[in-house]
Structure 1
Amino acid sequence: MRTGIRWLVRTVFLLVFLAACGTVIPRPLIAPVKASSASSIHRILLLSGPIHTDIAIPLDEETRAAFSFLDAPDFPLGHPDAEWLVVGWGGRAFYLETPSWAELKPLPMLRALTIDRSVLHVGLAGHITEPQPSVTAFDISDDQMARLLHFVSDSFLRNAGEIAPIADAGYGEIDRFFDAKGYFNALFGCTTWTAAALRSAGLRTGLWNPLPQSLRLSVDVYN
């Protein structure tokens, strides 16, 4: 029993140490060259909660064209009140079956702690108030936005070129789930995907950000 407790304590300490290192060590190590001030500016948002993060991309002519494959009568990208496309990545079982903490079940939790297939959750949002603790904004150039759009678009799993929507899956009327590339586990979960999306847009994150809190801290320090 004592040996098991010692190994558990050591494991927890190692994970905390690695998470701390992953927060303070920047990725990439060398800061990217800043975009010319003459470049057009696009504002993107990092949305973070206690255990999950999303990217909010402004809905303009360019982004609506880039994600035209999502446009549908029940998901109207051109809706006049839609200002943001909100995208998150996560484990299939936990994401689909846990819209709120009150609905937490053992099996989805077990899948999240081990390994699971991944999905993308996509929603439309109206006005998002800034500033607030759960919202971090970044201004990026045309080229950076193009790379971000490519990264997000490329995260969708496609069959014969077509995205794979998950039938009857969603938390409300204007959000949808789609099969995504990659596999999910607690060490490389939603926040590591969000961090990779930010890096695709030329921003710096921590080396390894498994938690929303560590990602927020690293982007505040390095951007």
Structure 2
Amino acid sequence: MRTGIRWLLRIVLLLVFLAACGTFIPRPLIAPVEASSVAATHRILLLSGAIHTDIAIPLDEKTRATFSFLDNPDFPLGHPNAEWLIVGWGGRAFYLETPTWAELKPLPVLRALTIDRSVLHVDLAGHITEPQPAVAAFDVSDDQLARLINFISDSFVRDAGEIAPIPNAGYGEIDRFFEAKGYFNALVGCNTWTAAALRSAGLRTGLWNPLPQSLRLSLSVYN
């Protein structure tokens, strides 16, 4: 009994140590050099929940044109009240089958803890109030925003150049799910994808950010 407890404590301490290292060791280790004359003219948002993060991309004429492959009558990217494109990545089973905690099921949880195919979730939002605890804002340049958009666009699975929507999948009237590149597991999950996306835009994250709290903390320390 005591041996089991000791091993459990060791595992807990190891996880705490790894989480601390993942948060406080920056990635990249050396801060990227951005030209001081480059103006940060765009604002992107990190939206945080209890276990998941999304990225909000500002919608203007240029970003609407870049994401025009998403535009259709069921997803009105050009709607005048749409100010933000919300994008998140996650495990297929858990993401599709758990719109609320009340609908939590054992099998999607098991898939999330082991390995699962991935999907991208996209939604539209109007005005997002700042500041608020669940929203972190970052100002980026034209080039940084372009790199972030390229990262997100490249995360969609494409067949002959066309993205792959998942039929009848969504939480509301206009949000949509699409097949995505990569595989999801408990160690490389939605928040590590978000971190990688933000790094593509020149932001520094922690070495490993499996939780929203870890990602937000490392972003606040290094940016």
Q: TM-score range by the shorter chain?
A: over 0.9
Contact 2:53 2:191 in 1 (8 A): yes
Shift of 1:3: 3.9
2:75 matched residue in structure 1: 75
**Normalising to structure 2: TM-score of the pair?**
0.97
Deviates more, 1:12-21 or 1:54-63: 12-21
Letter of the structure 1 residue corresponding to residue 21 of structure 2: C
Q: Distance in 1 between matches of 2:87 and 2:32?
A: 24
What is the match of residue 59 of structure 2?
Answer: 59
Contact 1:164–1:179 (8 Å) recurs in 2: yes
| Counterpart in the other structure of 1:122 | 122
Q: Is the 8 A contact 2:122 2:175 kept in 1?
A: yes
Post-superposition shift, 1:15?
1.6
Pairwise mapping of residues 20-31 of structure 1 onto structure 2 (< 5 A)? 20-31=20-31
2:90 is aligned to 90
Q: Structure 1 residue runs of 4+, over 6 Å off?
A: none
Any residues of structure 2 matched to 1:200-219 within 5 Å, and which?
Answer: 200-219=200-219
Q: 1:25/1:38 Cα in 2 relative to 1: closer, same or farther (>3 Å)?
A: closer
Structure 2 counterpart of 1:182: 182
Equivalent residues of 2:38, 2:141 under 8 A apart: no
Alpha-carbon distance in structure 1 between the residues aligned to 2:99 and 2:184:
17
Once superposed, what is the RMSD of the aligned Cα atoms? 1.2
Confirm whether residue 133 of structure 1 aligns to residue 133 of structure 2.
yes
Count of matched residue positions in the alignment of Structure 1 and Structure 2: 223
What is the distance in 2 between the residues matched to 1:123 and 1:192?
A: 20
Q: TM-score, normalised by structure 1?
A: 0.97
2:6, 2:175 → 1: CA distance?
45
Q: Which residue of 2 aligns with 1:166?
A: 166
How far does residue 151 in structure 1 lie from its aligned partner after superposition? 0.1
1:58-107 Cα deviation digits (max 9, x unpaired): 00111111111000001011001100000000000000000000000000
3-state SS, counterpart of residue 90 of structure 1 = strand
